[in-house]
Structures are given as structure tokens and as C-alpha cells.
Structure 1
């Protein structure tokens, strides 16, 4: 494409739409309506056809849905599996053994982070937070870990490390790569490395800032912590701040999941949940508590080993998502069969899948019109939205960046930090995923001007957006649920997390430039 491409009214309208969306995010408002309006105005400025402009609202969301439907499907199947495991109470049994090794607060801090990370990696933080808070957090507090440290460990490992890479389910890499015109598996691989750099630095730094608050193990610490609230603190939060809980994509799921684990904060409550079952279900519960993590560890091995061992077949395109979704579906059917029997399994499995799709569209449905607008700025997807031949389409964002190259610093480190900051700004609305279409599109446009891979910049932007809005830096994000379960003020959690997470994100951005720049 010619570097001197003439800018048209459509370019300026697209740029105005991006600016309005960013400002809307800064003011913590939802950007679906601005995205729809911007789509109409850009299309009208491009084609001059008012009927086509109205139709572009549908077409843009439809193209986004086609690009992202594999993501919705994986979320639905993983959620269906989780619901099946809850019937058997296998989810509780999976983490119960860790209670026995929580000998002191220092060990408990890192074990809490490890457990949260792995559960969140496979199921998102939605079940991880209430499960870990109910089963492991009380044991960690009795071992001498301060509740604030527990909130910090859970937030960094779940909403930070696991959600920002989203390596197994692949929602975030799929959105970022689609908007950047890159390869989702490359974004996922690089985001995994960056999330580990950010998370490990944040975990260790936060530990050293809080270590003086750790105490010797004492059951009175647990009694004092439990007496801070006679009921689940998270339930109280639901009534006190409903407008804040509405802003993110997963807050209601956190609170709803808490009901299942209510009463598990004591050993007797936990014993009741996992042992007060028919003998037949107990053996199946134990089996799936072992089988589920083993299967997904094998899935991860199949995904990772080809990158480490030459000669092994690598998963291409959507094969990784297909493998995860297929494994989840088979495990869900087997777990439902064990819990319900052969006859009821048929209807129950269908119900689990339906519930999974309901959750998927509640969590991610609003992303479609947002992604649709940013897809309008990329040549190939714009052609599909407008119904034009590919050769007649234009890449609005890319051409805008080309015409602004003289003002763009020719420094990989400055551009990388610029994309990181944009990602963090988009996360201010309290939803880490809504800004990914913007950071992805910006990465695809900026990467050629500084000689970087678009996947690398997209992964950096993904770090900024998800770590900020996913629930580590913003008090009105899902961090409010984490603080509620830990029974600490959410602002205290924000203060404890800010410097460690900033340090981690800055280190990861520098690392990305050194590794892949």
C-alpha cells in the first residue's frame, strides 16, 4: 500500500470513533453504544449509503462473531465441565490436599497463588476465587498469612497471570490476534511468557512488602478473621454496591459460586461438602478430582512440547482450542454420567452445555459490536462487513498510522510502552477484554513502522488491558469480589497491588522487546 495514501472522511471518522471509545473507557462507561454509532458513521462516510450504514451494525457484529465463535464454544464447553464437576464436588477435592501442606503463612502464600493460577488457567478465575477462598484461604490464614496477602496472591495469580495469558481457553489471544491480523498461537505463546514474568515479579515483590505482617501459625487468627463478618462478605458487597458489580463480565458469577461453598470456611463445613455424599458418588468424586487435572495437563503438554522438542507435530490454527473443547466435552459427559446415571445424563449434559453458552454470551457477548468496529478498520474484515471485493477495501487504521509515521518515535521500546499504556487505559472500565480489539488493531498498524511482530505488540497490549481491568489494579473490577472473600477493604488491595503489578508490567514489556524485538 502506498505510504502517501490519501486520507478520506472515513479515515477521520474512524479516528474520531477510536478517540471517543478510549475516552468512554476512561470514564468507566460501557463502549458498546459508541462502537455501534461509530460503525454506522464510518460506513456512511465510506460508502455514502445510509441503508448500508445501518446494515453495517449487523454485518460488523456478524463478522466478529464468525471470527470469535470458536472462543465462545470453548468457554461454553469448559463451563459445562465445571458445572458437572461441581455436582460431584470434585472441584473441592482437587485443592483439598493442599490444606495439609500449609504449615506456615509464607508457604501458604505461594501455594495459594499456585492453586489459583492453575484453576484459573483452565476455568478462568470465576470458579477459582470462591473455591480457593473457601477451601484454602482459611487454612492459609490459620497458618499465619495475613488476609491482605491472600487477596494479593489470588488477584495476581488468577486475574493477573492466568487471565492475561488465557493460554488454555484462548479468548484473549484470539481477540488480540484477530484484530492485529496475527496468529493466535503466537500471541498466546508470547502472552504466556509475559504473564509469567509480570506475575512472578509482582508475587515476589508483594511478598517482600507484606512479609512483616506474617505471623506464627495460630487458629485464633482464623477465628478473628471469621468474626469480621458473620456471613460471606461477598454477599454483603452484592447488596451494597450493585452498580460496581454490574460493570465487569464475571462479577455475578463470582458471587453465585460463593453460595455453593458457603459453610466451607471451617473444616467441619468442608468435611460436610465433600464427605456427606452417597458412597457411590464419593468414589466418582475422587476419580474425577484426579482425572480432570491429569487430562488437561496432558492437553497442555501436547500444546507446549512441539515448541520445545523438534520433530513433534505442532497444533495449527484452531486445533488447540478444538483439543481443549473436545477434552472438556468428553469429561463433562463422563462426569455427568457418574453423577446422574445413564438415563438422566442425556438431559443433564444438554443442560450443562446450554448453561455454558448462556455464561459465554453473558461474559463475552458485548465484545462483538466492539470488535466489529475495529474490524472495520482492517482491510480483509472491512471487505466482509461492507460486502466489497478484498482488492477494493482499505485498511483505515493502517493508512492512518502510515500518514502519521513522521510523528511516531522510531523506537521499539517507546512504541511497546505506548501500546501497554493504551491497554491499561482500555482496562480502566473494569473489563479487561473490551479493549483487546483496540490494542490488537493498533498493534497490527504500528508493528511494521518499528520492525516488530504485530503478535508481540498485541501481547503487550493484552497484558496492559487484562492486568488492569481483569482485577488487579481497578477497585471496581472483579478485585472487589476477591477483597470481599478475603474480608479486606478493596482499596487496601489496590494499594498493595499497584507497585508490584506496575513493576511486573514494565519488566515484561522490556523483556518482550529484548526477546522478540
Structure 2
């Protein structure tokens, strides 16, 4: 049985205080820093060591997030280069006739984001969608917040919680559960389908209500007429689309996944950036300015996220050991496991436990951190109650991803906010109700099928 120490209690109290301040719409960076110091003091009983841990926590957090910061910065730099030569107008023009109403834009962009996320994963997909289609979407009557929420729901929620093609998510859960990945995927289909469908339908009506009285984005139309379009812009526009289309094809055919897929997108962004700069005057300085602007935007977006994540990364065993040392615990994981040992077991409570563990571990902002735990718990519960372990694990897995993968935790939606300039808290507020209803529906169907 997991032993809950005073440090676990300190970490839990810190989380409660942080979430109270979040509900009050107050900034939480100061509290996260205090939380790191409090956990470090409780664990080490050494002031000097605790100060060192504070720095190490921020360093490890930055290191964990660096690749995301890098790809986002490069995409921003490329987007601004394309924008300056009018290539964005050329690229988006063919989509205008299809993306002419908010309702059409909702389903076209949503399904496109889902499809790309199935094959690329959401972070590279949002870079492609955001860089190429934000113009037509805004002209159709969408606003930036609705667009940002849309790609999180379809990509970081629905597509990633299924992950039927890359299979990174179900393979982690299946490994700890001790069953083939294909069996887990098959079992997850009804829970995934009901959760995704309920969330998307509710989100659709919420979004349409918000946009009901919104006029088309006249500002975007005015800018189009004022932009200078170089004759080379048409060639660069075609090449840019071909580049990313070929990237997508190669990722699927050659099974390029994860970090390698991100690297391919990032490298392509740099090449397109160079091509967009060469056609302009003083292109050597232009390249420097675009990259500087992109990285400044990336760092400006991620600076607070690095500090917030530094605290929540302490909840995951691997990163906690990197920060505090070998004596560290996975504080969030341990609290979830402890809770599971103190609740009466039946199909209703074990399904609820999977839901709560998924929510709790998702608070770290990483949907993956709780997958081994929900797999292990499902195996234990299924053995005790003689119920379907893969179905039970599916609920926990889907909850982990919907909560921590990038829909309702502010520090997990930064890949979207860096591309689409929207406050993360606003995205979370828009997503919260549909996602909660979707997860409740997932819980109900799990209980009915167990």
C-alpha cells in the first residue's frame, strides 16, 4: 500500500490553494513557486537544498517543454514571413468558398484537425491548421477563441484520446494492463465514441450560440486588400502546401512519429521561412528578424507555463526524481493510488475511481503521466470484481487525455495559444462544460457495459 507522507499532504494542500486562486481568476505563478519550495522543504528539511530544487524544477520544466517551444517559435516565424509576402492570402483564398459560415467552418476545420491529429498528433497539426487556415476561418464569422477551442476539442481531446493510428496512448495503458494494444483499442471504441460525440455536439451548440450575433471579420478583409503580394508569392504558397502535404504523407508511410514528426515539420518551417525571406529586400536581416520575433513570441507565451509546470511536474515520479533526487515520490500518482485503496469496490465506484484518477493525474498537464496508473488499477480492480479490465482502463485513459492532453488545463493548451493568440484561461472556460458532460457520458456508458 502506498504510504502518504507529510510531503504528499503539503503537495495536496498546495494544489487545493492553487485551484482556489484559479477559480478566483488570480495569477498562480507566485503560488506555484511557493508550492515548489514547500514540497522541497518538506522532503529535504534543508533550506539550501530547497533553493537549489526551486531552480532545478524550473530548469527541468523548461527542458521538458523546450521542443514544444521550439516548434511553436519556428511556426510563428514562418507564418509572419508568409504573411509579409502575402502568401497567406494566396494559400487561404481557395478555402473561402467552403468556409463561408461558422457552421461549415466548425465541421470542416474540426474534422480536418481530427484527421491530421490521428496521423501527426495534435501539436504539429495545430501548427499546420493555424498557419494556413486561420484567415478564412475568421472571415467566416469565427473569432480566435472559438477557433482555438475548436482545435483543442477535436485534436487534443477526441483524436488524441483515441490515437488509433500512432497508438502511443493505448500502447502505454495496454502494457501495464498486460493485454494487446488492439484489444484495448477495440474495447475503448464505445467509451471514446460516446465521450467525443457528446462533447463535440454540446461544444457545437455552445460555439454557435456565442457566434450567433457576431459579424464577419471585416478587419481581415481590409488587410487582404492592403497587402503587397510578390509574383514569387504564388510559387512559395504552392511549395509551402506541397511541403506540408509531403510531410504528412511521409509521416504516414514511413511511420515517422512523435519527436521525429515534430522535427520534420520544424525543418520544413525553416525552409519555407528562408524562401519567403529571399524574395524580399534585405533578406539577410529579414531572416534574423523573423526568427527573433518568433522566439520572442514563443518565450513570452511559455515563460509563465514553465513556472507553473515546474510545480505540477513534481506530481510525476520521473520528473520528481530529476528535480528532488532519488528519494522523491510521484506525489500525484501516490495520492490517486491511496484514494483507490480507501473506497468500497463495485462497478460504480471503480469506474468513478478511474475517472477521478484520470482527472487527478491530468492536472500535471500531461495526459500521458496517468496512463500506467489507470492500467495498473484496472488490472487490480478487474481481478477483484471479475469485470472487463480493458473497458475499465479505457475510461481512465480517455479521461487522462481529455483532462491533461490539452483541453481543460490552462498550462496544457499552450501549443494552441502560441499559434492562435488567445488567453489559455479563456479556452479552458469555453471547453470546461462540454468536456465535463462528455466525460460523465463516458462514465455512464462504461458502467452500463461493465
Tell whether the structures are fold-level matches, with TM greater than 0.5: yes
Q: Which residue of 2 aligns with 1:436?
A: 365
Note the 1:470-509 alignment, pairs <5 A.
Answer: 504-506=438-440
Q: Which residue of 1 aligns with 2:7?
A: 10
Q: Name whichever of 407-416 and 286-295 sits farther off.
A: 407-416
In 1: Cα distance, 2:233 partner to 2:101 partner: 29
In 2: Cα distance, 1:112 partner to 1:7 partner: 46
Shift of 1:300: 2.7
Aligned match for 2:68, one of 62, 67, 71: 71
Q: Which residue of 2 aligns with 1:461?
A: 400
Shift of 1:398: 3.4
Q: Which residue of 1 aligns with 2:154?
A: 161
Contact 1:156 1:202 in 2 (8 A): no
Shift of 1:464: 3.5
> Secondary structure, in 3 states, of the residue corresponding to 1:407?
coil
Note the 1:259-408 alignment, pairs <5 A.
Answer: 263-265=219-221, 269=222, 272-273=225-226, 277=229, 281-282=230-231, 284-305=232-253, 313-315=254-256, 318-338=259-279, 340-341=280-281, 344-386=282-324, 388=325, 390=326, 392-408=327-343
Task: Give a deviation string over 1:284-322, Cα, whole Å, max 9, x none.
Answer: 2222333323322332333344xxxxxxx5336621221
Against the structure 1 CA distance between its residues 328 and 151, is the aligned structure 2 distance closer, same or farther, given a 3 Å change threshold? closer
Against the structure 1 CA distance between its residues 20 and 135, is the aligned structure 2 distance closer, same or farther, given a 3 Å change threshold? same
Q: Which residue of 1 aligns with 2:377?
A: 449
Contact 1:423 1:462 in 2 (8 A): no
Shift of 1:51: 1.0
Contact 2:332 2:360 in 1 (8 A): no
In 1: Cα distance, 2:259 partner to 2:432 partner: 35
Contact 2:192 2:398 in 1 (8 A): no
Residue 20 (structure 1) aligned with residue 17 (structure 2) = yes
Structure 2 length-normalised TM: 0.68
Structure 1 length-normalised TM: 0.60
Note the 1:72-91 alignment, pairs <5 A.
Answer: 72-91=69-88
Shift of 1:47: 1.0
> Secondary structure, in 3 states, of the residue corresponding to 1:363?
helix
Against the structure 1 CA distance between its residues 505 and 332, is the aligned structure 2 distance closer, same or farther, given a 3 Å change threshold? farther
In 1: Cα distance, 2:438 partner to 2:445 partner: 10
Q: Which residue of 1 aligns with 2:127?
A: 123
Shift of 1:50: 0.6
Contact 1:77 1:325 in 2 (8 A): yes
In 2: Cα distance, 1:47 partner to 1:70 partner: 31
> Secondary structure, in 3 states, of the residue corresponding to 1:369?
helix
Task: Give a deviation string over 1:420-455, Cα, whole Å, max 9, x none.
Answer: 65599x6xxxxxxxx615x65555545422248999
Q: Which residue of 1 aligns with 2:38?
A: 41
> Secondary structure, in 3 states, of the residue corresponding to 1:18?
helix
Shift of 1:19: 2.3
Contact 1:464 1:505 in 2 (8 A): no
Aligned residues: 396
Task: Give a deviation string over 1:334-355, Cα, whole Å, max 9, x none.
Answer: 12113x15xx222211221221
Contact 1:92 1:135 in 2 (8 A): no
Q: Name whichever of 501-510 and 40-49 sits farther off.
A: 501-510
RMSD, aligned CA = 5.0
In 1: Cα distance, 2:14 partner to 2:225 partner: 55
Task: Give a deviation string over 1:81-118, Cα, whole Å, max 9, x none.
Answer: 11111112222222222333568886566446567887
In 1: Cα distance, 2:100 partner to 2:29 partner: 48
In 2: Cα distance, 1:333 partner to 1:409 partner: 62
In 1: Cα distance, 2:333 partner to 2:106 partner: 46
Contact 2:144 2:421 in 1 (8 A): no
Shift of 1:80: 0.9
In 2: Cα distance, 1:196 partner to 1:79 partner: 34
Against the structure 1 CA distance between its residues 160 and 211, is the aligned structure 2 distance closer, same or farther, given a 3 Å change threshold? closer
Against the structure 1 CA distance between its residues 157 and 93, is the aligned structure 2 distance closer, same or farther, given a 3 Å change threshold? farther
In 1: Cα distance, 2:132 partner to 2:196 partner: 17
In 2: Cα distance, 1:105 partner to 1:402 partner: 44
Contact 1:96 1:136 in 2 (8 A): no
Contact 1:110 1:153 in 2 (8 A): no
Shift of 1:69: 0.9
